[in-house]
Amino acid sequence: MNIQYKKGVLELCVLSLLEKRDWYGYEISEYLSQKIDIADGTVYPILRKLKSDGLVTTYLIEASGGPPRKYYSLTQTGRELYITDKTDYLAFAATIQTILEEQTI
Amino acid sequence: MTKQEYLNELKSELAKNAVPDADDILMEYEQHFQFKLADGFTEEEIAFKLGSPAQIAAQYVGIPGEKKAKGGKKFLLVLWLTIIGIIEAFLYGAFLYFIVALFVASLVPAALGVELIMGINYLNILPPMPYGGAIVFGIMLLALCVILVVFAIYCFAYLRQMVRASLRWRKNLMRGENLPLLPMSPQFQPKTRRTLRTILLWAVLVFAIAFVAGYAILSIYTHSFGFWHALGWFGYPATIH
> Least CB-CB distance to B38: which of A41, A42, A66?
A66
Nearest CA in chain B to A78: B179
Binary contact (B50, A41; C-beta < 8 A): yes
Q: For residue B126, is pLDDT > 70?
A: yes
Inform me whether the pLDDT recorded for A3 exceeds 70.
Answer: no
pLDDT of residue B46: 92
Question: Per-residue confidence at B183, pLDDT binned at 50, 70, 90?
Answer: confident
Q: Which residue of B has its CA nearest to A65?
A: B38
pTM confidence score: 0.52
- Residue contact A25–B60, C-beta within 8 A: no
CB atoms within 10 A of CB A1: 7
Mean local confidence (pLDDT), B84-103:
96
pLDDT for res B24: 85
Per DSSP, helices labelled H in chain B are 3-16, 22-38, 43-50, 53-59, 71-118, 131-175, 190-222, 227-230
- How many residues does the structure list for chain B? 241
Q: What is the pLDDT of residues B34-69, one digit of tens each?
A: 888 888 999 999 999 998 999 899 888 888 876 655
* pLDDT-based confidence at residue A2 (cuts at 50, 70, 90): low
Count CB neighbours of B158 within 10 A: 15
Q: What type of residue sits at position B107?
A: L
Predicted local confidence at residue A62, as pLDDT = 73
Per-residue pLDDT at B168 exceeds 70: yes
Q: What is the C-alpha separation between B57 and B87, in angstroms, rounded?
A: 49
Residue percentage of chain A with pLDDT more than 70? 90
User: pLDDT of B190-206, one tens digit each?
Assistant: 888 999 999 999 999 99
Work out the average pLDDT over B165-181: 76
Q: Is the dihedral of CA B182, B187, B189, B194 positive or negative?
A: negative
Mean pLDDT of A32-49: 89
| Res B148: pLDDT | 96
Task: Verify whether the Cβ–Cβ distance A66 to B29 is below 8 Å.
Answer: no
**Would you tell me which residues 25-44 of chain A have a C-beta closer than 8 angstroms to some C-beta of chain B?**
25-26, 29, 33, 39-42, 44
* Cβ neighbours of B63 in A, within 8 Å: 45, 48-49, 52
Question: What ipTM score was computed for the predicted complex, to two decimals?
Answer: 0.86
Distance CA A41, CA B81 (A): 41
**Range of weakest confidence among A25-29, B29-33, B89-93, B230-234:** B230-234
Could you say which of B34, B59, B64 has the minimum Cβ distance to residue A42?
B59
Closest residue of B to A58, CA-based? B175
pLDDT-derived band at B83, boundaries 50, 70, 90: very high
Given a cut of 80, whether residue A12 has pLDDT beyond it is: yes
pLDDT, residue B176, reads 63
pLDDT for res B42: 92
Read off the amino acid at residue A75.
Answer: T
Q: Residue A97: its pLDDT value, please?
A: 92
Q: Which residue of A has its CA nearest to B176?
A: A54
- The SS3 of residue A71 is strand
